[in-house]
């Protein structure tokens, strides 16, 4: 993903949810987890979502350590950008991180090798 590689504030970019599991349907939204040391940049300036198309709606949702920017595009597709810092991946993994990664994920960008030791995780034991 060129955008993730070009933006110096993106450390890792990972696909989760149905696309990460390989079970997506045509109506599925795309769920991305963005690991960054500069969360404020993405919270305060939502312009980055326009790199993927013209938006009709952008909303912010808060989930503890993760803040999501949900973008709906003109073609009715949705991308949820879940923004977290590196503590989201600290071991032992937080329960919320385990829940997200357990179903499967695909690493698109990993500049700091944060996902190097986290493989396709499917069991609770694998996540410890």
pLDDT per position in the chain (128 positions), as tens?
A: 689 999 999 999 999 999 999 999 999 999 999 999 999 999 888 899 999 999 999 999 998 889 999 999 999 999 999 999 999 988 888 888 888 998 889 999 999 998 887 764 544 444 44
List the domain range (segments joined by +) for residue 112: 2-127
Q: What is the pTM of this model?
A: 0.89
pLDDT at residue 122 in the model: 45
pLDDT at residue 119 in the model: 64
Number of separate domains in the chain: 1
How far, in Å, CA of 25 to CA of 43, rounded? 29
Q: What are phi and psi of 37, to 5 degrees?
A: -90, 0
Q: What is the CATH number of the domain that holds 100?
A: 3.30.460.10
Q: What is the edge-to-edge ordering of all strands in the sheet holding 106-110?
A: 55-63, 66-73, 78-84, 30-36, 10-16, 106-110
Q: Which residues contact 88 (CB under 8 A, 6 or more apart)?
A: 33, 35, 65, 66, 94, 97
């Amino acid at each position: 993903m060129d955008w993730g590689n070009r933006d110096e504030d993106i450390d890792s970019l990972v696909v989760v949810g149905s696309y990460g599991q390989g079970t997506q349907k045509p109506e599925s939204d795309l769920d991305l987890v963005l690991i960054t040391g500069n969360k404020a940049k993405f919270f305060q300036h939502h312009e980055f979502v326009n790199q993927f198309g013209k938006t009709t709606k952008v909303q912010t949702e808060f989930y503890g350590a993760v803040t999501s920017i949900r973008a709906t595009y003109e073609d009715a597709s949705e991308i949820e950008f879940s923004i977290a810092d590196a503590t989201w991946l600290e071991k032992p993994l937080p329960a919320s991180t385990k829940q997200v990664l357990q179903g499967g994920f695909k690493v698109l960008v990993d500049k700091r090798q944060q996902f190097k030791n986290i493989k396709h995780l499917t069991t609770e034991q694998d996540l410890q």
